[in-house]
Structure 1
């Protein structure tokens, strides 16, 4: 019996590793996301988040907190949550990617929202890096899934701390420039930093798709945004990166609110860095 139990545990570990296996494709990332969802449905969020998180994973609940620390202190959690990725992308180096889409919470009285999860490769497996969700009404718009495969593959190479820091500084400088322009040119400055097919996740709203619609949304309700960046990471392949921090939002209705934010950047053909996903969640103070 002891031998059978040990064999069963070994098989379970092997299946989990296979489910999270990263072969550098977006397909493997989407598969890892789906297996993560199945794990939560079966085992609850506590066990699943601990399994799929690394030592440095951040979850926004609503402020950023270490995932393993947060879930280790929780009782066995809710498994009445489901979600479906409808946008995913992986870096050329296969070490960083993201998924986003709608989620549902609860069974009798459902709650809805949009989520963003950033994934990093660790020992050949996909692990959560950042996870957050925004609330919304039941999504009505149908979104065609976009699972974007890397245009080619750049084999990861060893990078020393100086090179890693220099790469991150490029992203920090980009966001600092964005913040300066938001102060001097107003909310319309976002337009110069958004990809044409960018996505915005903002509480109380369905996912807003496309540069034009996002700028229109900002112009319609927000007068000022000030960004304070607290973290950054970048793919070795130098084509995807993300930042997170705190945004102070001044609405046109003479109201100020603080949000935690996560921005995903991608590198354009002209080597500029542009926003492909923006996600905001209310900050607790």
Structure 2
């Protein structure tokens, strides 16, 4: 994917900080309110960016055929940027102000392209009007690191590491059921699932999964790893067998963080219903 992204017109300058990414997100939201959703996504999305509506589709192609509404508002409450400053993600609540208001949570992945933040992945899961406020949590990179001799081979090797991690997660899910997540979740991990407000914290996530999920399997479609080696993301299709003997498919995006022991833990997961 990374090779297909090119600079858009209005993306915010990046200095490698989470602060600059949050500012880009806020300007993106302001542009949507002022100029319309279609115009904002066209200006802030990279070439080749994917939006999940609900299945993944090219952002510029999708919004070319959409009305330029001004009824969508959102604000980030969680954001991280890789220590290499080449990509980061934002997450938070959104509101659609129509005849009846709709609410939900979104996740956006951004990449730094020619010194500007560009949107490369975006999806959101709807839920009821939020009852529980989410504390703002913007995490700055702990330092700056980018390999001096990184190239296509190193990037491909990094991607393979993440694909192998998710393959291991999927195999563990098949062997041990939903309890497998106990070995892959950070203590402060977050889950966004349709119909529910964000579930924050490893213990709460495990309890949430156990309350409704019998089995889960993952089919990874894409992945990328930051040059700094600390953050990565995957996306694909999750098939969930509920305890009520129902099965449903979801598009997902998972964010991983490398730990001091070099294992990769999940720090954010989001699911949106997939159309067959």
Instruction: Give me the TM-score of the superposition, normalised by structure 1.
Output: 0.92
Query: Secondary structure of 2:252's partner?
Result: strand
- Match of residue 276 from structure 1: 267
Q: Counterpart of 1:7?
A: none
Match of 2:113 in 1: 122
Cα distance in 1, alignment partners of residues 69 and 169 from structure 2: 39
Give the 3-state SS of the residue equivalent to 2:76 in structure 1.
Answer: coil
CA contact 1:47–1:76 (8 Å) conserved in 2? no
Taking the TM superposition and a 5 Å limit, the aligned residue runs for 1:1-285 are: 16-17=10-11, 20-72=12-64, 74-155=65-146, 157-285=148-276
**More displaced stretch, 105-114 vs 223-232:** 105-114
Q: Find the aligned partners of 1:46 and 1:30 in 2 and give their Cα distance.
A: 21
Q: Counterparts of 2:270 and 2:40 in 1: how far apart (Å)?
A: 23
Structure 1, gaps ≥5 residues long:
1-12
Structure 1 residues 97-151: Cα deviation after superposition (integer angstroms, max 9, x where no partner): 0110111101552100000001111000000010000000011112110000000
Instruction: State the Cα RMSD in Å.
Output: 1.1
Q: Which string of whole-angstrom CA distances, capped at 9 and with x for unpartnered residues, describes residues 49-87 of structure 1?
A: 111111121100000011111112x14322111111111
Task: Supply the distance in 1 between the matched residues of 2:132 and 2:188 (Cα, whole angstroms).
Answer: 16
What is the distance in 2 between the residues matched to 1:241 and 1:88?
A: 14
Give, in whole Å, the separation in 1 of the partners of 2:161 and 2:219. 16
- For residues 131 and 157 of structure 1, what CA distance do their matches in structure 2 show? 30
Secondary structure in 2 matching 1:229: strand
In structure 2, list runs of 5 or more residues that go unmatched.
1-8
> In structure 1, what is the Cα distance between the partners aligned to 2:195 and 2:184?
23
Q: How many residues align?
A: 268
Change (3 A) 1:84 1:240: same
When normalised by structure 2's length, the TM-score is 0.95
CA distance in 2, matches of 1:178, 1:193: 8
